Amino acid sequence: MIFSVTLILVFQLAGVVLVQLLHLPVPGPVAGMALLLLAMLLVPALYDKVRPAGQGILQHLSLLFVPAGVGVVGHIGTLGSQGWGIAVALIGSTLLALLAGVFAFLALAKLTGAADD
Amino acid sequence: MTDFAEIWGYLGRDPLLWLTLTLGAYVVGDAASRASGRNPLVNPVLIAMIILGTTLWATATPYPVYFEGAQFVHFMLGPATVALAVPLYGQIHRIRKAALPLIGALLAGVVTSVLSVVWIGEAMGLERQVLLSLVPKSATAPVALGVSESLGGSPTLTAVLVILTGICGAVVVTPLMNALGIRDWRARGFSVGVAAHGIGAARALQVNETAGAFAAVGMGLSAIATAFLAPILAGWLL
């Protein structure tokens, strides 16, 4: 388990360093995710090494968003005065983005014959 | 009463209290979600936010004091993002097969998200700074904050809007897709990852393993696409 956690931190660190060196517009952990995926493709044995910690963290992924979410207390003023507008824009746009994404996927999957197995 | 005030004065500054309360509030939220049979409306993040927000308000605790304790949980977002490579690798052969649909759905999702939020927001008469803070709302938090800052939005407001977008996506995706009769788990997972980042992905992981893996890909690609496209699109519109 400790080895598994260490591996994940090593890849995060590598991602952070890579982003700094190349001035990439993505956050370090996203680059770390790409690096870990690449490493597993090159060395498939890594998969079983990172899986214990990986699955452990992801089981309660939504917990990790709570501290940032509580920041809402600092914006009660804005959310109060423009709350309705924000709610309509946010919900409407999220629905539209979901629909655009899912229909684009299905249309292209049909077109290219990339049916699910 | 003085005793309580004294204990509170001591504990209220201790990171341990806020760390414990953060986990405790989430345990309550998760138990409620479980009890409802994982009803999408009973979202654990939203419940935890309400419990903690009310507690901070009732005790007049400033957010930075709360964050002293909560930062240990917040820190785990980084490793969790890296760990998304695990389900992704587990589904890699299906992802490879669907490369073109993935790219198309990514562009459609990200462009629609940015354009529609600006148009609807303008129609609703939102202030310019709020609009700019809304632009990167579908991207994962660290990317969204960076984009918001570079556009002249408010990063802390963006952080909140990103979380609310994630909750909204997680709540609506299952009923919406069921109502439309969409059974392709790849399409369902990917689109929620693009539109509602990690919270959407967390919901997808709960519902179906394939959907979870495609949501992880969607979140990662959406972060990259938003970082490049949102500033360009916002430049045209605002």
Mean per-residue pLDDT pooled into runs of 10, chain B (238 residues): 69 86 96 91 91 94 92 90 87 88 96 97 95 94 84 89 94 96 96 95 90 91 88 86
Minimal CA separation from B175 to chain A, in Å: 11
Contacts of residue B184 in chain A, CB cutoff 8 Å? Answer: 105-106, 109, 116
For residue A67, the chain B residues in CB contact (below 8 A) are 22, 66-67, 70-71, 73-74
What's the confidence (pLDDT) of residue B22?
A: 96
- Whether B81 is covered by a domain: the verdict is no
Domain ranges (residues) in chain A: 1-112
Residue A43 is predicted with a pLDDT of: 96
C-beta atoms of A98 and B191 within 8 A = yes
Would B137 be classed as within a structural domain? yes
The pLDDT score that the predictor gives to residue B2 is: 60
Query: Is A61 within 8 Å of B205 when comparing Cβ atoms?
Result: yes
Residues of chain B with C-beta less than 8 angstroms from the C-beta of A58? 80, 83-84, 86-87, 202, 205
| A104-111: average pLDDT | 94
Asked if the structure places residue B84 within a domain, the reply is no
Find the domain containing B184 and state its range. Answer: 4-76+92-237
Q: What is the ipTM of this complex?
A: 0.88
**What pLDDT shows up at residue A20?**
93
Token pair 């004065």 in the structure block, residue: B9
Find the angle CA(B219)-CA(B194)-CA(B85) to the nearest 5 degrees. 20
CB atoms B160 and A94 under 8 Å = no
Q: Where are the alpha helices (DSSP H) in A1-117?
A: 2-22, 28-42, 46-59, 66-70, 76-81, 83-112
Task: State the total domains in chain B.
Answer: 1
Q: What is the pTM of this model?
A: 0.85
Summarize the confidence of residues A84-111 as an average pLDDT.
96
The residue among B224 and A104 whose pLDDT is bigger is A104
**Residue A105, Cβ neighbours under 10 Å: how many?**
32
Report which of residues B216 and A95 the model is more confident about.
A95
Shortest alpha-carbon distance between residue A39 and chain B (Å):
10
Q: Given this model, what pLDDT does residue A30 score?
A: 81
Check pLDDT > 60 for residue A117.
no
pLDDT for A33: 87
> Quick one: pLDDT at residue A25?
72
Cβ-based contacts of B54 with chain A (< 8 Å):
none
Residue A114's pLDDT band (cuts 50, 70, 90): low
B44 — contact with chain A (CB < 8 Å)? yes
In this predicted structure, what is the pLDDT of residue B92? 87
What is the pLDDT, as a whole number, of residue A103? 97
Q: Percent of chain B, pLDDT > 70?
A: 99
Under an 8 A CB cutoff, do A93 and B112 touch? Answer: yes
Task: Quote the minimal CA–CA distance from A73 to chain B in Å.
Answer: 6
Mutate to test the interface with A, among B38, B49, B51, B86 (most CBs of A within 10 A): B86
Contact indicator for B182, A106 with CB cutoff of 8 Å: yes
Instruction: Say whether pLDDT at A78 is over 90.
Output: no
Q: What pLDDT sits at residue A72? A: 85
CA dist list (Å): A75 to A82, B58, B63, B156, B181: 11, 16, 11, 8, 38
Q: What is the pLDDT of residue B55?
A: 95
* B198: CB partners within 8 A, 6+ apart: A61, A62, A64, A65, B77, B80, B81, B140, B141, B166, B219
Say which amino acid occupies A95.
L
